[in-house]
Amino acid sequence: MLTYNDLKLKSKEFLAATGLNPEEFERLLPVYKEKYSALCPPNQTKKGKHRQRRIGGGMKGKLQLDEDKLLFILVYQKTYPLQTMHGLQFDMSQPQVNYWVHQLLPVLQQSLAEMGMKPERDSKMVDKSVLMAETDADLTIDGTERRRQRPKDSQEQEEHYSGKKKTHTDKNLVLVNNESKKVVYLSPTVGGKTHDKKMADENPISYPTGTTLGKDTGFQGYEPVGVITFQPKKSQKEKS
């Protein structure tokens, strides 16, 4: 079973699995504990009823430590595996994984919001975002895709089929601050068929005046007012 105590000593693997380094994890953990205790009081059962037996009695769950609960949901969010595969990493069945994902995801979202680390979801409020104010407005915009289960409905299949990835995907736009390395904006989720520029046009982002914005070929013709755009060139080494 994957545990925090085992993984924290492997910094590269920890970062790859969670998207955080151990120091960032430690800063998030106290807030996460507080939010989890508020949403899931220790004197109540999982169904919200008053606990009849002493805390710690009964069957022992797989995720007893708060550290392992946070690790579980961070790994799920970072790698987005099938729940069956996620269960293999944490010694759980698929129904158990499903339960814990729905239990822990709201806690993570509240914790990130409390710490000012949650990306802005309203494109019109990006210029007022706390994450935007941390450094100068030196940004990069890109479209991200992740595989999803093939929809049963034929129309949904067409909407989610990505010609680029040759599979069915969900897609988002992300806006990253190049100095802080944080995601400033995360767009609504759409089907993989949708073009990057179309997503940007349908969710007009409010940029601070004088923003510099890196973009790839998927954003040809995307020129927001007051923004200096550029397209980074790949080195000859990367091309070869």
| Single-letter amino acid, residue 166 | K
Could you give the CA distance from residue 144 to residue 125 in angstroms, rounded to a whole number? 21
At residue 116, the pLDDT reads 81
At residue 51, the pLDDT reads 60
Averages of pLDDT over each 10 residues, the chain, 240 residues? 92 92 93 90 65 58 89 93 93 95 94 88 93 90 91 92 92 93 93 95 94 94 94 66
Q: Of the candidates 40, 46, 41, 49, which has an alpha carbon nearest to the alpha carbon of residue 59? A: 46
Q: What are phi and psi of 160, to 5 degrees?
A: -100, -5
At residue 43, the pLDDT reads 64
Query: 143 has which bridge partners?
Result: 173
At residue 182, the pLDDT reads 87
Which class for 180: exposed (0-12), middle (13-18), buried (19 or more C-beta within 10 A)?
Answer: middle
